[in-house]
Amino acid sequence: MRVDRVALRGLKARGHHGVFPKEREEGQTFVVDLVLGLDTRPAAADDDLAKTVHYGIVAEEVVAVVEGEPVNLIETLAERIAQVCLKHEGVREVEVCVHKPDAPITVPFDDVTVTITRSRA
């Protein structure tokens, strides 16, 4: 079945993720983009927030994950974010893109990202 999309772009939070001690100690800003896949027809038909995903709550939960327990890899961070999103009733799939614009790379670059897609089993 096809799904509709609700997107949140540019969620920013400070986290202490990374494999290097400096990343863990000082932290850095991470940016998260989400695309939630769900059926929005019931909410649209009744104009009812309870029948869709409350993206404000999702945003708060995602920021809490980024600000929470440090992990070594942004791949792990993306997985944790995906699992939080999939706990919302109605969300069938999610695409998570984690940006690490201040990654410790020794050459000029614009951004580092990891993008994953997960769905309900």
Active site residues: 100
d(CA 34, CA 91): 12
Contact call for residues 78 and 35 (beta carbons, < 8 A): no
Q: How open is the CA angle 19-25-30, to the nearest 5 degrees?
A: 70
How is residue 95 written in tokens? 């695409």
| Identity at 48, one-letter amino acid code | D
d(CA 121, CA 105): 36
